[in-house]
Chain A
């Protein structure tokens, strides 16, 4: 293969994406259309996030890529390698050392700082899509702040199930204006979205970019009598003993035994390095 431009995309394209990012930051939660390019990985594999990262990266950046909270999932490995090859940037698995973190489905457990950018991969940027499939309609609903349909949906959940039956991609309202899809993160992560870091969201196939600037109000939709609840498996991590982290459930055998481990692999590793141990930590080490 011949040489590609820094971070794969040509400068013209990156400029176009940066303009979309800046517009997104200026209008938090608003979905900015952009002329997404075909990337050398399939739509659905994070082409939006990859384009946003490519436009945000500078040669001095340190990149971390996670999928399901982990640095070593196959697609995270693949995207990290892509940028190692096309941008030659330093990469890390340590959350604190990264200046740009591209993520799919999780927000890292460690608090992010104002020196960091969190880039989300977004499959369906439109929070109203499954209530109204037409873009022509949903864009109108956003511009008129016509969010009644969403509240009706949440209400119907309660009347049918006794609770809001949305566990991930739980809709939020940004700075009191736009209802936004936080990407398919578990609702456990929603409260973390009011953070010091810049949050950028890229949806390649759907050709949309949106953003949440630092310290912006992000409220998970709920009702006074049915308040939002960030939930996770009711266990400590079996490896590091953390009680505050989001957990993956792992099937151990055919006798129904399970273990629960931190989904954020860097968080779990750093806790174990610091001497914390969970129920099965000794055996696993």
Chain B
């Protein structure tokens, strides 16, 4: 006999206890430390920082541990924590041109001031499972050389001196902040870039890939990809000048894209831009491609109806915390609504059956 179910509270508590046990796994296996996650799963940490919009490796490591390695869940933990933090102010724009680069490559020039620096990349590894790692993760020390002395200017600067690439219009306007103001469309480029940099890596990747396969292709060359640390400075009102408050690791990608030009503008290359926390190459390249695709209108291009050109479509669906929340909420109880549908479908079927009967009777009579 059905008795109205009580005990949701108890069920929730028990579920949480079980979850905690599952998270820990076999207790005969040593527990993961946050330092281990931070140091040895650093690309996962980077992704959580980028999509969580909070630069803190230790918190990201904690989130990954708590989330059992589910990175979207970890991003969610970071976002929820982030929204409780007071905001003291805004930093000055970081100077990526002065980045201490661990990696810096250009696909458009064989060499350039600052050089091609491969850095720690998977690019030319052969993807063979390294069974030695299963037994022993110790690695020989990598060779060391002194850092290059010369400056590493942006590759696009060389193109700009020739005026062969569009100039980024300088502006002192304060960019919008999508965590403080509701998103509205059309969104300006600053807000679009904010949305893309915290957007889901898989979604941005898929959108970028679609442009490469011909859905609003924009002929992107990786003018430059650089990864490294930049200092973060903040103006301190009491002091009257800016001081360095820390440094962040960033990945920056600038693409050089084709542009046909017009009657008034001679042919000129255009730009796509990607900037992401941590070493996040795939994400920053993808971001630059999607940024470029979304710029069709300001560059006077045709809207070919491709998904990646559709600002409202891209920005409304890039956030994995929003997406996974709404997707997964359909597992919550919906029996009130389902009941109303049930009644409606039963009624419509009854009426349809009656109608069929009436018609059959009429036919028989004729």
* Interface residue? B79 (CB, 8 A): yes
Query: 0/1 per residue, B344-357, Cβ < 8 Å to A?
Result: 10011001000000
* Interface residue? A149 (CB, 8 A): no
**In the complex, A283→B2 CA distance in Å?**
9
Residues of chain A within 8 A (CB-CB) of B329 are: 42-45, 123
**In the complex, A261→B332 CA distance in Å?**
20
Query: 0/1 per residue, B53-94, Cβ < 8 Å to A?
Result: 000000000000000000000001001101110100000000
Which of B4-12, B109-117, B153-161, B273-281 has 4 or more CB atoms under 8 Å from chain A? Answer: B4-12
Tell which of A34, A239, A247 touches B4, judged by Cβ atoms closer than 8 Å.
Answer: A239
**In the complex, A75→B332 CA distance in Å?**
8
- Asked whether A42 lies within 8 Å of B324 as measured between CB atoms, the reply is yes
* Interface residue? B102 (CB, 8 A): no
**In the complex, A265→B8 CA distance in Å?**
14
Residues of chain B within 8 A (CB-CB) of A232 are: 340, 343
Report A256 CB to chain B, min CB distance, Å. 14
Tell which of A10, A259, A265, A283 touches B86, judged by Cβ atoms closer than 8 Å.
Answer: A10
**In the complex, A186→B344 CA distance in Å?**
11
**In the complex, A284→B1 CA distance in Å?**
7
**In the complex, A168→B296 CA distance in Å?**
40
Query: 0/1 per residue, A1-25, Cβ < 8 Å to B?
Result: 0001000101000000000000000
| A105-B2 contact given A4-B84, A38-B83, CB 8 Å threshold | no
- Asked whether A248 lies within 8 Å of B12 as measured between CB atoms, the reply is no
Tell which of B7, B321, B339 touches A38, judged by Cβ atoms closer than 8 Å.
Answer: B321
- Asked whether A162 lies within 8 Å of B348 as measured between CB atoms, the reply is yes
* Interface residue? B181 (CB, 8 A): yes
Sort A-B residue pairs by CB-CB distance and give the 10 closest, nearest first. A44-B329, A43-B325, A167-B340, A42-B325, A33-B182, A186-B340, A207-B182, A44-B325, A38-B79, A167-B344
* Interface residue? A263 (CB, 8 A): yes
Report A160 CB to chain B, min CB distance, Å. 10
Residues of chain A within 8 A (CB-CB) of B324 are: 42
How many contacting A-B pairs (Cβ < 8 A)?
154
**In the complex, A76→B341 CA distance in Å?**
23
| A186-B336 contact given A40-B80, A72-B7, A161-B348, CB 8 Å threshold | yes
Report B19 CB to chain A, min CB distance, Å. 14
Report A143 CB to chain B, min CB distance, Å. 14
- Asked whether B179 lies within 8 Å of A284 as measured between CB atoms, the reply is no
- Asked whether A165 lies within 8 Å of B348 as measured between CB atoms, the reply is yes
Residues of chain A within 8 A (CB-CB) of B82 are: 38
Residues of chain B within 8 A (CB-CB) of A106 are: 336
Residues of chain B within 8 A (CB-CB) of A255 are: none
- Asked whether A207 lies within 8 Å of B183 as measured between CB atoms, the reply is yes
**In the complex, A167→B334 CA distance in Å?**
13
* Interface residue? A145 (CB, 8 A): no
**In the complex, A4→B83 CA distance in Å?**
12
* Interface residue? A188 (CB, 8 A): yes
- Asked whether A135 lies within 8 Å of B185 as measured between CB atoms, the reply is yes
Residues of chain A within 8 A (CB-CB) of B241 are: none
Report B181 CB to chain A, min CB distance, Å. 5
**22 A–B contacts, CB within 8 A, in A order:** A10-B84, A35-B182, A36-B182, A38-B321, A43-B321, A43-B326, A44-B328, A47-B325, A68-B333, A68-B335, A72-B6, A75-B332, A76-B8, A136-B186, A163-B351, A231-B347, A233-B339, A233-B343, A247-B339, A249-B335, A252-B1, A263-B339
Residues of chain A within 8 A (CB-CB) of B351 are: 162-163
Report A244 CB to chain B, min CB distance, Å. 16
* Interface residue? A178 (CB, 8 A): no
Q: Apart from A40-B80, A68-B336, A123-B329, what are 19 other A-B pairs with CB-CB below 8 Å?
A: A8-B84, A38-B76, A42-B76, A43-B326, A67-B333, A72-B4, A72-B7, A78-B12, A81-B9, A134-B312, A162-B351, A165-B348, A207-B183, A233-B343, A247-B339, A263-B336, A284-B1, A284-B3, A284-B4
Which B residues are within 8 Å of any A CB, using their own CB?
A: 1-9, 11-12, 76, 79-80, 82-84, 86, 179-186, 312, 316, 321-322, 324-330, 332-337, 339-344, 347-348, 351
Residues of chain A within 8 A (CB-CB) of B7 are: 72
* Interface residue? A64 (CB, 8 A): no
* Interface residue? A182 (CB, 8 A): no
* Most B Cβ at <10 Å: residue of A38, A123, A163, A185: A38
Report B187 CB to chain A, min CB distance, Å. 11
* Interface residue? A58 (CB, 8 A): no
Query: 0/1 per residue, A243-285, Cβ < 8 Å to B?
Result: 0001111101000000101010100100000000000100110
**In the complex, A244→B15 CA distance in Å?**
36
- Asked whether A163 lies within 8 Å of B5 as measured between CB atoms, the reply is no
**In the complex, A187→B351 CA distance in Å?**
20
**In the complex, A248→B82 CA distance in Å?**
40
| A231-B343 contact given A42-B329, A134-B312, A135-B185, CB 8 Å threshold | yes
- Asked whether B11 lies within 8 Å of A187 as measured between CB atoms, the reply is no
Residue of A nearest to B5 (CB): A72
Residue of A nearest to B10 (CB): A77
**In the complex, A106→B322 CA distance in Å?**
24
- Asked whether A186 lies within 8 Å of B328 as measured between CB atoms, the reply is no
Report B329 CB to chain A, min CB distance, Å. 3
| A43-B340 contact given A35-B179, A75-B332, A284-B2, CB 8 Å threshold | no
* Interface residue? A108 (CB, 8 A): no
Tell which of A38, A77, A208, A247 touches B12, judged by Cβ atoms closer than 8 Å.
Answer: A77
**In the complex, A67→B95 CA distance in Å?**
50
